[in-house]
């Protein structure tokens, strides 16, 4: 157990009880996350704990099944036989769903103030036999019914109370203690009362609306707002496990406004200093469940994770029934004696933090997930609470966690898309083969439900920026490079993929050149964007013949025709207008002060120049207020020659840079021609803006 060297003294009117006289007994047949949480809170306040039942098989039922708990009574009765000190005060509490909110001194003081030899926790609801309701003594204020999950008393009185017990392990402790309490003679002789106003014990079942977190003077604890009390022991009895988990994210002193997260640096597993061969082996399961944009980028980022590649095992699934996929990868980890972790990642996750896997492993939790967001939305890959029917509900702290106002480790009821589980947990608590199956829930919800029911805490960390999750709802797959169309659905990812890395310097640092008067030159597209646009147009293949008659345009006649494909022919006109508005319009407004544009166009197209097809373009004005001309491939590599000459200024741009845009007025002043391409194939995209 946990021993204390300190002697806390509580002075009261009737007698003196030392905190050293207090022994906490609890029953725990397994070391669950809840048990570890209980022990941590006890250690925080220097309680002396004795654990009963370790190594036994639990036969006392649980809150979802018929009454049980008799095993606790048997173990307690046996433990009390060894205690001879008549002044010894015994606290018996559950452990998996209990946390201490304050220390032994306050507990004993409140026990003394109750002026009884045995004090039970009190309940709003009667259980398990409602027919006994009328036999409970009436109280002027407070809760009327006994709760067996927590009680405190002097050893001799507890021995007397348990002397009649001869039940089976599966019998109801709640019913046994209730019958003692409603028997006036027994109640009087043992000297039992209830903690009606939750001064010592707070049972959450039937009382969720009464309990709030109270942050004050560098402390955090639960407050009962109905009775204005500060209970010492919080019990998530019955179906309130999620609520005790929520409170347990803060109590005792795990997260406070003054200190932030105090738990986050405890029990870590540092990886720094290890040889590569000493890193834990991780099986990574990657799941492609539906058509998803930027898949190639996902694998590039996976490759960039800072983790020894020879300590990773990869399992990739593509459009197979979801839970069958996960079984295979989970089993791959379970069955591999070297596997220490299973890392599940959906392919729509954007892995922005190269240290992610190391960070998660070092936190040393059986189950941990990095918080993921969606840009511009309050969506995350976790739920802070569940509704009554098991679906999403917003917890009181959800917004603060999502927005980074509270940073730490959060025990939550649901995570999806990405998580890390210890292999030992998969081999023990989560060894069932049907973890992802349910007649009513989708695989993710079924999985989380079973993880919760096994008592495994699902932690989410938001202490670092880890990444985001793509929007996949409207992803169309009828093009060659479907990601080009993602400028609306996933604008952040689209920009990272397709907008030149130096574009931000154009406006911020003035990275803009003027090769000819009032002609501006700036980087806008990545090489990938240029490559994808060319390949998309060649894949479409319906190049115009470069003739004057052109049914694609209003009036059907083109004065200065090119061999081209219009953006609207490939269904890219809305996306192209969005691109011009977001990336060309700001530069236009900067370089031509006083002019504002909504980037409207009638004509935007990709032009192909070839020596044996159309090598050049005769002098002309554009049907635009301004024109954006983007070079899509590289002179000297893909073609020889080419360029643009502005006749009025006798000025040429002879070496267009791939991905750079030329911005120039279309009419009146900037009469220009396309210079001959003498070898290879040259591609440019042209937009006549504000015709």
Q: Which two tokens stand for residue 568?
A: 């609207």
Determine the angle formed by the axes of helices 155-162 and 70-80, rounding to 10 degrees.
130
Could you list the active site residues?
A: 682
Task: Evaluate whether 2 touches 49 at the Cβ level (below 8 Å).
Answer: yes
Long-range pairs for 135-143: beta carbons < 8 A, 24 or more residues apart = 135/182, 136/181, 136/182, 137/182, 137/187, 139/194, 139/196, 141/196, 141/197, 141/227, 142/194, 142/196, 142/197, 142/198, 142/227, 143/194, 143/196, 143/197, 143/198, 143/207
Buried/exposed 333-368: b ≥16 CB within 10 Å, e otherwise: bbeeeebbbbbbbbbbbbbebeebbbbbbebebbbb
What is the rounded CA–CA span in Å between residue 17 and residue 106?
A: 11
- Reduce the DSSP state of residue 335 to 3 states and report it: helix
What is the rounded CA–CA span in Å between residue 132 and residue 136?
A: 7
What is the rounded CA–CA span in Å between residue 228 and residue 225?
A: 5
Q: Which two tokens stand for residue 319?
A: 């459009």
Q: State how far the alpha carbon of 418 is from the alpha carbons of 51, 202, 253, 351, 414, in Å.
A: 36, 35, 28, 10, 11
Task: Evaluate whether 244 touches 204 at the Cβ level (below 8 Å).
Answer: yes
Of residues 372, 331, 344, the one with CA closest to residue 287: 344
Of residues 74, 38, 30, the one with CA closest to residue 172: 74
Task: Evaluate whether 158 touches 164 at the Cβ level (below 8 Å).
Answer: no
What is the rounded CA–CA span in Å between residue 454 and residue 429?
A: 6
Of residues 541, 538, 531, the one with CA closest to residue 484: 531
- Reduce the DSSP state of residue 241 to 3 states and report it: helix
Determine the length of the chain. Answer: 691
From start to end of 81-210, where are the E strands? 89-93, 98-100, 118-123, 145-154, 192-195, 201-203
The Cα diameter of the chain in Å comes to 113
Q: Which two tokens stand for residue 243?
A: 């609520």
What is the rounded CA–CA span in Å between residue 690 and residue 280?
A: 59
Number of CB atoms found within 10 A of residue 156's CB: 17
142 phi and psi angles, rounded to 5 deg: 110, -170
Task: Evaluate whether 34 touches 9 at the Cβ level (below 8 Å).
Answer: no
């Amino acid at each position: 157990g946990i021993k204390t060297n300190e002697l806390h003294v509580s002075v009261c009117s009737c007698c003196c009880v030392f905190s050293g006289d207090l022994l906490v007994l609890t029953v725990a047949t397994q070391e669950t996350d809840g048990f570890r949480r209980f022990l941590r809170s006890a250690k925080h306040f220097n309680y002396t704990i004795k654990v009963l039942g370790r190594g036994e098989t639990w036969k006392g039922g649980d809150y979802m099944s018929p009454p049980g708990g008799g095993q606790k009574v048997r173990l307690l009765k046996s433990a009390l036989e060894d205690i001879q000190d008549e002044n010894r005060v015994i606290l018996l509490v559950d452990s998996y769903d209990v946390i201490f909110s304050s220390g032994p001194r306050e507990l004993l003081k409140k026990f003394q103030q109750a002026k009884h030899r045995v004090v039970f926790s009190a309940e709003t609801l009667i259980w398990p036999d409602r027919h006994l309701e009328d036999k409970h003594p009436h109280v002027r204020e407070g809760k009327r019914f006994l709760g067996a999950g927590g009680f405190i008393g002097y050893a001799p009185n507890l021995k007397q109370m348990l002397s009649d017990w001869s039940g089976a392990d599966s019998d109801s402790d709640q019913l046994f203690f209730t019958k003692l309490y409603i028997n006036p003679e027994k109640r009087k002789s043992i000297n039992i009362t209830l903690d009606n106003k939750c001064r010592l014990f707070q049972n959450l079942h039937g009382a969720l609306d009464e309990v709030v977190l109270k942050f004050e003077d560098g402390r955090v604890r639960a407050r009962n707002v109905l009775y204005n009390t500060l209970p010492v022991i919080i019990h998530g009895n019955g179906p309130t496990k999620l609520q005790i988990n929520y409170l347990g994210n803060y109590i005792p002193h795990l997260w406070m406004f003054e200190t932030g997260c105090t738990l986050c640096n405890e029990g870590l597993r540092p990886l720094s200093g290890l040889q590569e061969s000493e890193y834990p082996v991780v099986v990574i399961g990657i799941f492609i469940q539906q058509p998803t944009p930027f898949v190639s980028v996902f694998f590039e980022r996976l490759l960039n994770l800072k983790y020894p590649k020879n300590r990773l095992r990869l399992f990739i699934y593509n459009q197979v029934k979801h839970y069958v996929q996960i079984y295979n990868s989970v089993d791959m980890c379970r069955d591999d004696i070297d596997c220490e972790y299973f890392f599940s990642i959906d392919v729509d996750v954007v892995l922005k933090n190269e240290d992610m896997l190391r960070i998660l492993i070092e936190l040393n939790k059986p189950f941990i997930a990095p918080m993921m967001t969606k840009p511009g939305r309050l969506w995350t890959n976790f739920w802070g609470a569940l509704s009554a029917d098991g679906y999403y509900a917003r917890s009181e702290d959800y917004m603060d966690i999502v927005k980074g106002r509270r940073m730490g480790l959060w025990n939550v009821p649901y995570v999806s898309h990405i998580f890390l589980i210890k292999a030992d947990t998969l081999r023990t608590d989560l060894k069932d083969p049907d973890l992802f199956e349910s007649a009513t829930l989708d695989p993710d919800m079924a999985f989380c439900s079973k993880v919760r029911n096994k008592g495994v805490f699902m932690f989410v960390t938001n202490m670092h920026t880890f990444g985001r999750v793509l929007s996949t709802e409207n992803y169309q797959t009828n093009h060659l490079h479907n990601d080009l169309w993602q400028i609306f659905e996933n604008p952040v990812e689209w920009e990272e993929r397709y907008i030149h890395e130096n574009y931000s310097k154009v406006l911020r640092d003035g990275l803009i050149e003027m090769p000819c008067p009032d002609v501006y030159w700036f980087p806008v597209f990545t090489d990938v964007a240029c490559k994808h646009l060319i390949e998309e147009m060649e894949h479409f293949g319906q190049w115009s013949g470069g003739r004057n008659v052109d049914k694609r345009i209003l009036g059907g006649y083109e004065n200065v025709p090119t061999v081209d494909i219009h953006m609207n022919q490939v269904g890219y006109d809305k996306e192209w207008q969005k691109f011009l508005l977001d990336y060309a319009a700001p530069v236009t407004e900067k370089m031509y002060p006083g002019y504002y544009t909504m980037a409207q166009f009638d004509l935007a197209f990709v032009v192909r120049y070839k020596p044996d097809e159309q090598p050049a373009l005769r002098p002309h004005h554009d049907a635009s207020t301004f024109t954006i001309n983007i070079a899509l491939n590289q002179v000297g590599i893909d073609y020889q020659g080419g360029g643009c000459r502005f006749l009025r200024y006798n000025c040429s741009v002879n070496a267009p840079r791939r991905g750079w845009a030329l911005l120039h007025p279309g009419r009146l002043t900037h009469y220009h021609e396309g210079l001959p391409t003498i070898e290879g194939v040259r591609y440019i995209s042209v937009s006549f803006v504000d015709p």
